[in-house]
Structures are given as structure tokens and as C-alpha cells.
């Protein structure tokens, strides 16, 4: 273990172990309670915060967005456990991701990387040390048998490198960053909130690269439908039921309708492609 690396890791530790949970398990079944039971059996003093267990089944886009939205507001040193894991039981690897301010524990399917990249990835480890797992590993419930115990030992102060080898070939999902395309940006729909706002993976910095400023007109294309929309600072800057674009509270471009439902109007779902360009450059 590199002494400097060990010092950097120790500076992130919370006084009281703080662990968050995010999953697509819902609240009907015993799965969330089982993970919490494992955590508290290892560390009775742990504080457990539920971010959400209502992620749409198998939807890593949605899970990644909810995680990246909530994680920045937790204290430095928090251990975030995220389990949206359609590949459970396959060769996909269980990971610990150490960033500049916290830790992420979950599957190597891209779920963790939107948050981890935003914070700055320091190291990524493949969890393989059986000492930090339950004695029996189910093929269908790594959340309980691998992720929960590993996260708890990590929160108690175990050094990340003790859990397994450092890796560099972890999966970076396509939705982690939009692509430049003909003077515009090609991204994806990450999330649709309870108001019907369509949240993309296009950030403020991405828009600055193509010259987007307040009150610009944007061409927004979903599949084959193109709309010309105003880029505004707030929903109320257009009339009621009028469409607009803006930067939402998670720092991503949203397509919205003032007091309306953009996802229904534009017939958009999570994972759909979205292309955004300046009106002047698109003519």
C-alpha cells in the first residue's frame, strides 16, 4: 500500500460510518431489509440513508442519474452502495470506486461512473477478497452478500486495496458523456421526473462548448421529430403550457413544458437519443 494513498483515503473517513443505498428492489420485498441487516451486523453504529429503492427495474440510466443528483450533498467519506444489476451472477465484476470525496460500491455496468467521474476517480478495485463478503454468495443477490458487507468494512476504515486488485478496464457507459456531432451535441435521455421533465446527459459545460447562452434558440431532436425551443433560466420564463429548455438542479439540460408534461408531449422515454444544436448553426 502506498503510504500517501493510505493517508488520502483516511482523510475521507467519516467519524460515524455513513452508508447510502440505492436500488431497483422496491419496498415490497425483504431485499432492502436484508442488506441493512448485514450492514448493522457488521457495524451496529452505521448510519444508513436510503437514496431510492424505486429505480425502474434494470434501468441503469435512471439509477445513475438519481445517484449523481444525490451524492454531492452527502459528507466527504460517505460510502454509496448502488445496486441496479441485471448482470448479477455473470462475469461482471463487483467494484469499489474511490473518488476524491467518497466511495462507490456496486456492479461494473456503468451505474457508478456518472457520479464517480464527476467527483474525479482516484482508483477502482475489483472486490474479490472473500474476507469482506458473506460466507455464502448467492448468484442472485450480490447486494446482500458482496456489496453490503464490503461497503460496511470500507466505511469502518478498511483500506480499499485490501478488497482486491486495482483495475483500469472498468466500464464507462455511453451515457456518461455526450458526443459532438455536426456543430451540436448527441446525448441520451437519462431521466424523466415526476413532473414529466425530460433530463438529458448534456451538462452546462457541454453546452458552453457549442456556444449556448441564455435566451438562445435551440434545435432539439428526439428520434425524427425536431423542435425549436428557447433556452431559459427558469420554467416561468415562457407562457403556461409552452415548451422550453433549461439547466435543471442536477446541472443537466432539461426539455420541459411550463406546468405541463414534456415526456408525454414529445413521446420520449429514458434511453432515447437527443440531439441539441444552436438554431443559427442548424439553418
Q: How far apart are CA 187 and CA 174, in angstroms?
A: 9
pLDDT of residue 214: 81
- 7 or 17, greater pLDDT: 17
Owning domain of residue 202: 177-282
pLDDT band (50, 70, 90) for residue 142: very high
Q: Is residue 208 part of a domain?
A: yes
Domain final residue, candidates 163, 197, 223? 163
The structural domain count of the chain equals 2
Give the count of alpha carbons within 13 A of 112, CB side only: 31
pLDDT band (50, 70, 90) for residue 16: confident
- pLDDT at residue 2 greater than cutoff 90: no
Do 157 and 96 fall into the same domain?
A: yes
Q: What is the pLDDT of residues 78-93, one digit of tens each?
A: 999 999 999 999 999 9
Q: In what order do the strands lie in the sheet containing 47-52?
A: 47-52, 18-23, 79-83, 103-107, 94-99, 121-126
Q: How far apart are CA 250 and CA 160, in angstroms?
A: 29
Quote the pTM value: 0.91
Domain final residue, candidates 96, 129, 163? 163
Q: Is residue 137 part of a domain?
A: yes
Do 215 and 121 fall into the same domain?
A: no
- pLDDT at residue 282 greater than cutoff 50: no
Tell me the C-alpha to C-alpha distance, in Å, between residue 20 and each of 45, 94, 105, 192, 235.
Answer: 14, 17, 10, 22, 31
Do 152 and 185 fall into the same domain?
A: no
Q: How far apart are CA 128 and CA 263, in angstroms?
A: 42
Tell me the C-alpha to C-alpha distance, in Å, between residue 210 and each of 57, 205, 229, 273.
Answer: 35, 9, 16, 18
Whether 253 and 276 have beta carbons less than 8 Å apart is answered as yes
Do 203 and 158 fall into the same domain?
A: no
Average confidence score pLDDT of the chain = 93
Do 10 and 129 fall into the same domain?
A: yes
Please tell me whether residue 61 adopts helix, strand or coil conformation.
helix
Q: Is residue 170 part of a domain?
A: no
Do 62 and 147 fall into the same domain?
A: yes
Q: Is 104 exposed, middle or buried (0-12, 13-18, 19+ CB in 10 A)?
A: buried
The CATH number covering residue 202 comes to 2.40.30.90
Q: How far apart are CA 177 and CA 183, in angstroms?
A: 16
Instruction: Find, among 226, 205, 215, 229, the residue nearest to 274 by Cα.
Output: 226
Q: Is residue 209 part of a domain?
A: yes
pLDDT of residue 49: 98
Domain final residue, candidates 133, 163, 193? 163
Q: How far apart are CA 131 and CA 54, in angstroms?
A: 31
Do 83 and 142 fall into the same domain?
A: yes
Do 186 and 242 fall into the same domain?
A: yes
The CATH number covering residue 66 comes to 3.40.50.10790
Amino acid at each position: 500500500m502506498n503510504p500517501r494513498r493510505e493517508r488520502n483515503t483516511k482523510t475521507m473517513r467519516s467519524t460515524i460510518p455513513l452508508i447510502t443505498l440505492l436500488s431497483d428492489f422496491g419496498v415490497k420485498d425483504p431485499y432492502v431489509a436484508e442488506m441493512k441487516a448485514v450492514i448493522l451486523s457488521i457495524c451496529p453504529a452505521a448510519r444508513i440513508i436510503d437514496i431510492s429503492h424505486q429505480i425502474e427495474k434494470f434501468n441503469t440510466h435512471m439509477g445513475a442519474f438519481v445517484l449523481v443528483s444525490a451524492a454531492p450533498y452527502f459528507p466527504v467519506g460517505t460510502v454509496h452502495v448502488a445496486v441496479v444489476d441485471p448482470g448479477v451472477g455473470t462475469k461482471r465484476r463487483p467494484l469499489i470506486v474511490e473518488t476524491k470525496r467518497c466511495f462507490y460500491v456496486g456492479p461494473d455496468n456503468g451505474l457508478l461512473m456518472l457520479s464517480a467521474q464527476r467527483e474525479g476517480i482516484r482508483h477502482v478495485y475489483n472486490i474479490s477478497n472473500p474476507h469482506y463478503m458473506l460466507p455464502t454468495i448467492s448468484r442472485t443477490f450480490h447486494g446482500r452478500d458482496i456489496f453490503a458487507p464490503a461497503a460496511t468494512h470500507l466505511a469502518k476504515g478498511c483500506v480499499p486495496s485490501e478488497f482486491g486488485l486495482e483495475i483500469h478496464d472498468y466500464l464507462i457507459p455511453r451515457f456518461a458523456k455526450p458526443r459532438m456531432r455536426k456543430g451540436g451535441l448527441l446525448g441520451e435521455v437519462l431521466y424523466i421526473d415526476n413532473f414529466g421533465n425530460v433530463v438529458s446527459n448534456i451538462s452546462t459545460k457541454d453546452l458552453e462548448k457549442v456556444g449556448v447562452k441564455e435566451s438562445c434558440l435551440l434545435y432539439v431532436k428526439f428520434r425524427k421529430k425536431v423542435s425549436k425551443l428557447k433556452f431559459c433560466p427558469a420554467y416561468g420564463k415562457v407562457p403556461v403550457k409552452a415548451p422550453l429548455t433549461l439547466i435543471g438542479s442536477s446541472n443537466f439540460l432539461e426539455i420541459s413544458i411550463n406546468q405541463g408534461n414534456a415526456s408525454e408531449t414529445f413521446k420520449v422515454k429514458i434511453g432515447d437519443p437527443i440531439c441539441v444544436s444552436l438554431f443559427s448553426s442548424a439553418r
